[in-house]
Structures are given as C-alpha cells and as structure tokens.
A and B are shown apart, each in its own frame.
Chain A
Amino acid sequence: MFIKPRLRLVPDNTRIQFMKVRFTGLIISAVLSTASVILFFYPGLNLGIDFSGGVVMEVRTDGPANFAQIHAALTAAHIPDQGVQRFGDPSEVLIRLGATASEQATQTAVAQVREALTNGVPGAKIERTDAVGASVSAELFRNGLLALGVSLLMILVYIWFRFEWQFAVGAVVTLILDVTKTIGFLALTRIDFDLVMVAAILTILGYSTNDKVVVYDRVRENLRKYKSMPLRELIDLSINETLNRTLGTSMTVFLASLPLALFGGESISGFAWVMLFGIVVGTSSSIGIAAPILLFLGEHRLRRDAAPIAPPAGSSAAPAAKPAPPAAAAAPVISGPAKGAAVKAKKASGSADASSAPRR
C-alpha cells in the first residue's frame, strides 16, 4: 500500500471525445452565466457589511437565545432597522443594522445596541462588532473590484506572454464565465458578499487559471509533437492525457476545503462553500469551455487548414467537415533546437501577429 498506487481516478487509455459535446458545454455555460447575471441584478448580491456599510454584532447568550427579549430590548431603545437572526449555535444571535449616513451615526448605533443589550438581556455578551462607515465601505468595494480587475488583466497578459493570444483570450473568457457563475451562486445562496468573498473569487481565479494552463500547456506541447493531427483531435488528446491530473488536483483542493466548510465556523464556511463551488466550476470549465474556445479561435490559426475530422454520425452539433489537406502542408509549427525551447508558430498567410516564443 505504501509502494504501489492503489487507485486511478481515470483509466490510462481513456479517450473521451470532449470536443464532440463542445456546443452542449458552451450552451450550458452560457445559460448558467446568463442566469447568474440576471441573479446579480435581481435579487442581487447580499452585500456584506464590508461593502454595504452598517453594523453587525454577534451576541452570545446564556442558553438558547430569547428572541422576543432581544427584540423587546432593541425596540425599547428605539433602534431602527433591526435584523436579528440565529447564527450557528442556538445561543448565538446576529444583529444587523443598516448603513447610516454618517460615521458618527454608525458609532452611536453601536453604543445604543450595546447599552440596550446590557440593560435588557441579562447574560448577553457581545462577541463581535463590525461597524463600517459609508466612506470606508465604498473604498473597500472599489479596492475589491480593482483587485479582481487587475488580476484578470495580469493573467491575460501573462498567458499572452507565455502562450499564443488565442490561449490568453480563451483563458480569460473562461475565467469571466467562471466568475459570473460564482457570483450567481452567491446571489442564489444569499451568502454575504464581502472582502473574504473577493478573496475566494481571486483564489478561484488563480486555481482555475492553473487548471487551464495545465491543459493549454499540453496542447502547446502536442502541437509540436503531432504536426499533422487536426486541432480538434489534438485538444481531445491533450485533455485526456491531463485528465488524471486535472481531476486529481481538483480532488485534493476539494478535500482540503471540505473540512473548512463543515467545521470552519460560521464566519469562514461561506468562503469554503464558495471555494468548493468554484473548484467544480473551474475544473469543468477547463474541459468544457476553455478547450472549445481554443478550438474556435485556433482552428485556422494555430494549425493552418487542419480541419476537424468528419463528425461521427448522429452528432448534430459539429460543424461541417472540411477536406483535410495533405500532412506536409499542415506543418506550421517548427520544432526548435534540442530542448524544444524555442517554438515558432507562424501563420502561413504571413501575417505577423501569431508569432511569440514561449520562454523558459
């Protein structure tokens, strides 16, 4: 047991024709992302205190919380806009107050709640107070969006630099689709969207890119190795070759995040659930979205005139086959010196845009 591997996720000679169902994948993804965008506008994200401003207080009581008593205490103190909800344990209560116009008012509200609870609810302990003023929340929101935007841009530039532009565009479009779905998930589950969620989305971005890079890297390698293989077949081959790794890494990250969702406590489990969702989305999009996009963008560029093989009967989605050219003409990729370090991809048409050399 300590020497030989016991199990394999996928048998070695798996040859699933993923590209056959590429339209299905893209359509499902488009539908989910569109639904997510709709969910983003209606009902919208449940903005956490970081971004909405306002007050959140976590209160612990002796024994199960008496909501009527807490309500009465807050009402007696004329505290408006009170949302009191259970939070984890029966003895834990979350009190939310909406954003106020001024920082001063927010601070006054905190003091009022504190006083009302000490007077009206014996044994209540305030275990956490988050009070964020309007100017700070606006700033945090701006910085959160900035972090997301700049990260996407840097990923685009990085992949562009290391691969061809088709790879970069494919990756970033897929990432945007991943992010919209994650946002849809947030809107649907009503998990608070706060700074920690921005961190989760960025982690999903990083993880998902990682996944795409591995598949793309194999595509790049196979482009060099199989000079006459049609791109469609080549992408299928690359996905299958890396399938064990793709699923394996997803499993480890999933397994690492799962305990966090189950035992991490209220404040971090939301983060972990979003991560779990993101892992599933990111893994499936590497196969179902990023690869088809690459196929569409790269069909006549990465591999000149290498048309897809004729679609098997019954596949309605695949486009009409083009006659395959002789293998000799379909060798736009010239293998570099010994280590395979420098590779040039040239369009036969002579236009200069697609030439970039991956650096080691």
Chain B
Amino acid sequence: MMYFSRIKTTLVLGVCMLGILMGVPNLFPAPAAWMPWRTVHLGLDLRGGSYLLLEVDMKAVLKERLDSLADGVRQALRTAQIFYQTLEPQPDQTRILLRIRDASKTDAAVEALKPLISQDAATGLPDMAIGSDPDGTITLTLSATALAARATGAVDQSIEIVRRRIDETGVLDPQIARQGQDRIVVQLPGVGDPDRIKQLIGKTAHMTFRLVDETANPAAGGQPPPGDDFLQMQDRPGEKIAVRKRIDVDGADLTDARAGTSPETGEWVVNFTFNSVGARRFADISRANVNHRFAIVLDDKVISAPVIREAITGGRGQISGSFNAQSANDLAVLLRAGALPAPLTVVEERSVGPELGADSIRAGALSLGAGFVFVIAFMGVFYGLFGWFANLALIVNLFLMLGIMSLLQATLTLPGMAGILLTLGMAVDANILINERIREEQKLGRPPLAALEHGFNRAYSTIFDSNATAFLAHVMLFVFGSGPVRGFAVTITVGIATSLFTAWMLTRLLVSRWYVATRPKLLPV
C-alpha cells in the first residue's frame, strides 16, 4: 500500500503536473497569442448576457402543412372535374376531411388525389394515408413520422434563420442550439438587454405582395368577400384594407434588402431586389395592374399599399411606410434573413447585466478565498503534518478541477463556484478518514509503517462508498437540471473524481516519501 514503484510515482506526479498546467491558464491572461490557452467558460450569470428559450409554434407548422395540402386537393379535384361539398382541415386529427358531391365518383377522386402522396426521403414510407367511404367522404391523414420530420425541419430552419438575424446585429459569439423537440436555446454573451434581439426573432417576417381589392370596403364591417382578407394597416392602427388572398409574389423570392433614404422625399425606405422568378412575376403583375393598388404584407399586416404607376421590370423595388432608421434597418435584416417557418415564442428569459456579473465574480472569488483559508487552517490545526499533506493535495485538487473543466470546456456559473467551495470542504473528508484511521491503528499498537498501511487500506472502502452516493446524486442533478444548476453539478462531479485521486494517490505518495525520508518512531497524528 505504501510502496510506490517508480512508474507509479511518475504517473501520479505527471497527472498532477498536467492538471496544474491545464489549470494555470485560468489564473492569468494568455501571455502570447500562439499559446494554447484553454480556460473555463464563464456562464452568462457571471460574464453578463442573455439566455432565451424559444418555442417553435408547432400548431402553426401543422396548420400550414394542412393549408397547402388543401390547396393541392382543390387543384387536383378541379383538374379531375370532381365537385366537393366540404373541404375541411382538421388539425387535431392531422387530416383533411373531404366530402364530394357525387358519391359514385369517390374512387375517381381518390385516384386523382393519389399523386399528392409523396415518399418520405429517409424511410421511403408514404407521408399520408387516403381513406374513403362509399358515401363520398374522403380523409387525407398525415403520417406521424412525416409530421415529425416536418417539425424537425421547421426547428432546423428556424435555428438557421435566427442565427442569420442575430449575426446581423453584430452580437459576438452567440450560441444557438436545439433543445428537445420544439425548442431553441439562444445564448447571447454580453447582451444585458435582449429587447432588440427579441423583437428581431419575434417576427415571422413572412412578406407577400398581393393586390388590393378596391371593390370591397372593410370600413363597412362584416365578413370579407370570398378570396379576400381584411388586414390591418401597420402604421394606422384600427384601419383595415381588403387584400386578395392570392399571393402574387412571395418574400422568399427576395435576394437582397437594404435600408436607405428615398432621393425624392428623404424618408427612410427599404430597397429590395427579386431573383429572376420573382422579378418576372413582379413585372407581369405590375404590367397588368397599372393604376391599381398593390399591398406589401408582412406577417398579416399591410406595411404599405402604393398605386402601381407603371410596369416594374428591373426586379427592384422600394418599400416606404413611415420608417425610421432603426425600423427600416430591422425590416431589411428580417427580409435578408428570410421568413421563419413558424412563429417563435420566448418561453424563458434570463438576462444579467455586466455589472451584476462582475459583482457575482467578486463575491464568488471572495467566498472561495475565505473558504479555502478556513479549510486549510482547520486541517493544519487539527491534523498537523498530515493535515498539511492534505492541504497540498487540496491545492493540486483545485488546479485539477480547473484543468479538467477547461479541457471539457465546461461552463463555470455562480452555483458552480459554490460547487467548488463545497468540493473543497468535502475533498478533505477523505484525508480526515485516512488520518483518523492511521491514528486508531497506531493506538492499537501498530508500528508506524503498519499503521500507515492499515490506515490507508481500511479507509479506502469507506471513502469509495461515501463518495459514490454523492456522485450519483449529482449526476442526477446534471441529467434533470438546467442552466446554472448544471454548472453546479458539473463542478461537484468533477470535484469528487479529482479529490478521490488527490486524497488517495497524491497524499499517499507524499506520506510514503516522507516516511522513507524520516523513518519516524511515532507518527504525528
């Protein structure tokens, strides 16, 4: 037990040196840029920043899918000249319910709808099932796997678009990641006030260009005529305008959008450019509708509805509508980044200003220093030389913890700092167990070497058992916890592992070296 072969000694010291080397970068800034200077990441609660948890509105994803399927059904039936009574999307059952007029044509209708089925890319299974009744009722039910794939796609696409929008704001080092089924975590270091970002990602930014129905009058109230929507005017609250449902040009066909000022009026505008498809359609529509009004609709609100003066053929256009520099810029950013496939909702927000973060670091460091001194003093006073061996191991342990956390690129949070402190308190437990045991063995009359042997040997299973349960509890905390609390769980689990090493290997090595060097008649325990 007390004998260390040369290889073992080298290994133990090597691990300690490596740990110290990896831990040191946390204490100083990098002296030179070329040096590998890996440090522990500071959590947002310490460095200041914002954490946003966004939820993708899956109902909207489903509704959109059903709506587009309904469009397909209408078209297919029109081509096949089959008339229907009702055509109803039923989101709760993820299906479309269709009732055709002439029940004898049911089979023909099913045949006409079959081309709408597409194969899932991954599994090769059809993405929906068509069922029919002889009475003319037909259902098109979307398969669960196809919907799940679509939901995954919607989240991935949202992440991409959120990233593009945030990149445009110049926030450094944002982290955007998926969480679970339908959520996105956005972490913005250094952003103490995430209002602007929230505004940017809170908009779907689906832009459409549609004709205004000049015959309908929304002010008269009532239902809009079929094929029309009554939409709100963006800058005149309460005023509505009748817009055709048919989308003439979609914002997806935009290639660029920039904020600028109009040379004529001097007011802020957004200049945009279409791709070739969009440009052609825009030209056709504008040519056919000179002197009619054309609505620019963003997320079901009409930004402006200018009158078309002449055919616009260059694929370029301009949106005006009481912008200021900021709002024009924001709209340009949104249009450039593209539309979100579904609305996003902020379900959790945590932001910390830089001042508070710095305060937390100061308070944490002060507590850490004070706790460290207390523990070291206790061990020195109550265990003498063996206490100082433990203290040396404790210092190495601190570096090992920092080193491993740097290596794992783990995040240090304020609760994490508390975790380091608790680990310091718990780490000496192993040494206390060992020292008490050695003391007992010596009192039983064993000579020093035998007392050391037995002390370390017997304390081992106790140390292992008592740490294993704590380890298990904190692994559970990591699994089920979130945010800063996870940081706490990480520091404690890492700390338990490193303290087992330092208490069991390093102090034993130190004690054995000391014994060989001094050969004491009595152990000072």
Whether B482 and A158, one on each chain, are in contact in the complex, defined by CB atoms closer than 8 angstroms, is no
Q: Are A259 and B473 in contact (CB under 8 A)?
A: no
Specify which chain A residues have a CB less than 8 angstroms from the CB of B414 in the assembled complex.
265, 267-268
Question: Do the beta carbons of A245 and B360 come within 8 Å of each other?
Answer: no
* Contact, CB under 8 Å: B375 / A210: no
Which of A158, A263, A275 contacts B422 (CB under 8 A)?
A275
Contacting chain B: which of A140-148, A183-191, A294-302? A140-148
Cross-chain contact A252 with B480 (CB below 8 angstroms): no
Q: Is the CB of A249 within 8 A of B432?
A: yes
Contact A213 B353, beta carbon cutoff 8 Å = no
Which chain B residues lie closer than 8 Å to A264 at the CB level? 363-364, 367, 418
The stretch that binds B, out of A36-44, A124-132, A327-335, is A124-132
Kindly report which residue of chain B lies nearest to residue A134, judged by CB atoms.
Answer: B347
Given contact pairs A135-B347, A259-B371, A249 touches B426 in the complex (Cβ within 8 A)? yes
Residues from chain B with a CB closer than 8 A to the CB of A162 are: 465
A143 to B414 alpha-carbon distance, docked (Å): 21
- In Å, the complex CA distance between A209 and B426 comes to 13
- Shortest Cβ distance from residue A221 to the other chain B in the assembled complex, whole angstroms: 8
Do A8 and B382 form a contact, CB below 8 Å, given A210-B429, A249-B426, A264-B363?
yes
How far does the Cβ of A17 sit from chain B's closest Cβ, in whole Å?
20
> Given the known A-B contacts A5-B384, A7-B382, are A103 and B346 also in contact in the complex, defined by CB atoms under 8 Å?
yes
On whether the beta carbons of A5 and B461 are closer than 8 Å, the reply is: no
Which of B77-85, B284-292, B299-307, B483-491 interfaces with chain A? B483-491
Of the residues B368, B432, B482, contact of A252 by C-beta under 8 Å: B432
Q: Is the CB of B436 within 8 A of A245?
A: yes
Which chain A residue has the least Cβ–Cβ distance from B52?
Answer: A131
B406-445 CB mask vs A (1 if < 8 Å, else 0) is: 0000000011011001101110110011001000100100
The reply to whether A4 and B384 contact each other, CB–CB distance below 8 Å, is yes
Q: Is B345 close to A, CB under 8 A?
A: yes
Cβ–Cβ < 8 Å partners of B198 in chain A: 107
Name the segment of A69-77, A149-157, A309-317 touching the other chain.
A149-157
Given A129-B349, A268-B415, A202:B477 Cβ within 8 A: yes
* Interchain nearest-CB distance for A179 vs B (Å): 12
A209: chain B residues within 8 A (beta carbon): 466, 469-470, 473
In the complex, the chain B residue whose C-beta lies closest to that of A159 is B469
- The bracket for how many chain A residues form the interface is 35 or more
Interface check A231, CB cutoff 8 A: no
Does A136 belong to the interface (CB within 8 Å)?
Answer: yes
Q: Is B468 an interface residue (CB 8 A)?
A: yes
> In A233-259, which residues have CB < 8 Å from any B CB?
241-242, 244-245, 248-249, 251-259
CB-CB under 8 A from A251, the residues of chain B are 378
Whether the Cβ atoms of B415 and A199 lie closer than 8 Å is: yes
- A248 to B472, Cβ gap below 8 A? no
**Cβ of A353 under 8 Å from chain B:** no
A254 / chain B contacts, CB cutoff of 8 Å: 425
Q: Annotate A1-35 by CB proximity to B: 1 below 8 A, 0 otherwise.
A: 11111111100100000000000000000000000
B434 to chain A, nearest CB (A): 10
B71 at the interface (CB under 8 A from A): no
Report chain A residues within 8 Å CB of B347. Answer: 103, 132-133, 135-136
- Contact across chains for B426 and A257 when beta carbons are under 8 A apart: no
Flag whether A347 is at the interface (Cβ < 8 A): no
Most buried by B among A4, A127, A360: A127
Given A264-B363, A268-B415, A195-B481 contact (CB < 8 Å):
yes
The interface size of chain B toward A, counting residues with CB under 8 Å, comes to: 85
CB-CB < 8 A to A130: which residues of B? 349-350
Q: Please give the distance in Å from A86's CB to the nearest CB on chain B.
A: 16
Instruction: Decide if A196 touches B484 in the complex (CB within 8 Å).
Output: yes
- How many Å lie between the Cα of A127 and that of B48 in the bound state? 9
B62 near A: Cβ within 8 Å? no
| Interface residue B92 (Cβ < 8 Å from any Cβ of A) | no
Q: Is B67 an interface position by the 8 A CB rule?
A: no
B371–A151 touching, CB < 8 Å: no
Which residues on the B side are within 8 Å of A256 (C-beta)? 371-372, 374-375, 421-422, 424-425
For B374, give its contact among A146, A195, A249, A259 (CB under 8 Å): A259
A202, B352: Cβ atoms closer than 8 Å: no
* Cβ contacts under 8 Å, A2 to chain B: 380, 384-385, 388
Closest to A205 in B: B473
- Binary flags per residue of A99-111, CB closer than 8 Å to B gives 1, else 0: 0000110010011
Give the most central of A198, A217, A221, A360: most B CB within 10 Å.
A217
Bound-complex Cα distance A249 to B489 (A): 21
B311 on the interface (CB 8 Å rule)?
A: no
List the B residue with the shortest CB-CB distance to A210: B466
Q: Is the CB of A196 within 8 A of B485?
A: yes
Q: Could you tell me if A260 and B418 are in contact, using CB atoms closer than 8 angstroms?
A: yes
8 Å CB interface, A198-246 against B: 198-199, 202-203, 205-207, 209-211, 213-214, 217-218, 221, 241-242, 244-245
Residues of A within 8 A of B219 (CB): none
- CB pair B425–A253 under 8 Å, yes or no, is yes
Contact A103 B345, CB 8 Å, known A128-B356, A360-B461: yes
Output the nearest chain A residue to B388 by Cβ-Cβ distance.
A2
Whether B466 contacts A260 by the Cβ 8 Å rule is no
B366 within 8 A of A: yes
| Across-interface contacts of A9 in B (CB, < 8 A) | 382
Min CB gap A47→B, angstroms: 16
Other-chain contact of B415, A154, A196, A205, A253 (Cβ < 8 Å): A196
CA distance in complex: A116, B192 (Å): 18
User: In this assembly, does A60 line the interface, its C-beta being within 8 Å of a C-beta of chain B?
Assistant: yes
The chain A residue with its CB closest to the CB of B462 is A217
Q: In the complex, which of the residues B383, B418, B466 contacts A5, with contact meaning CB atoms closer than 8 Å?
A: B383
Question: Taking the nearest CB of chain B, how far is it from the CB of A122, in angstroms?
Answer: 17
Q: What's the Cα separation between A159 and B387 when bound, in Å?
A: 30
- A58 vs B352: C-alpha distance in the bound complex, in angstroms? 9
Q: Is A114 an interface residue (CB 8 A)?
A: yes
Assembly CA distance A110 to B440 (angstroms): 62
Question: With a CB–CB cut-off of 8 A, which chain B residues contact A255?
Answer: 371, 374-375, 378, 425
Question: Chain A contacts of B353 at CB under 8 A?
Answer: 125-128
> Is residue B467 within 8 Å, beta carbon to beta carbon, of the partner chain?
yes
Q: Mark B321-332, 1 if CB is under 8 A from A, else 0.
A: 000000000000
The chain A residue with its CB closest to the CB of B436 is A245
List chain B residues, Cβ under 8 A from A12. Answer: 443
Complex contact B374–A241 (CB within 8 A) = no
Cross-chain contact B482 with A143 (CB below 8 angstroms):
yes
Question: Is the CB of A271 closer than 8 A to any CB of chain B?
Answer: yes
| B17 close to A (CB within 8 Å) | no
Q: Is A272 an interface residue (CB 8 A)?
A: yes
Known: A110-B349, A214-B433. A5 touches B481 (CB 8 A): no
Q: List 17 A-B contacts (CB under 8 A).
A: A4-B524, A5-B387, A8-B382, A107-B346, A127-B352, A128-B353, A195-B482, A196-B415, A199-B485, A203-B492, A206-B492, A207-B470, A210-B426, A217-B462, A249-B432, A260-B418, A358-B461
The interface of chain B, by Cβ under 8 A from chain A, is: 53, 55, 192-193, 195, 198, 202, 345-353, 355-356, 359-360, 363-364, 366-372, 374-375, 378-388, 414-415, 417-418, 421-422, 424-426, 428-429, 432-433, 436, 440, 443, 458, 461-462, 465-474, 476-477, 479-485, 488-489, 492, 524-525
List the 7 closest pairs (A to B, CB-CB), nearest first.
Answer: A256-B425, A206-B470, A259-B370, A253-B425, A147-B480, A255-B374, A265-B363
Given contacts A207-B470, A248-B378, 12 further A-B contacts (CB under 8 A): A5-B383, A111-B195, A125-B353, A133-B347, A151-B473, A198-B481, A199-B488, A203-B422, A213-B466, A214-B462, A251-B378, A253-B422
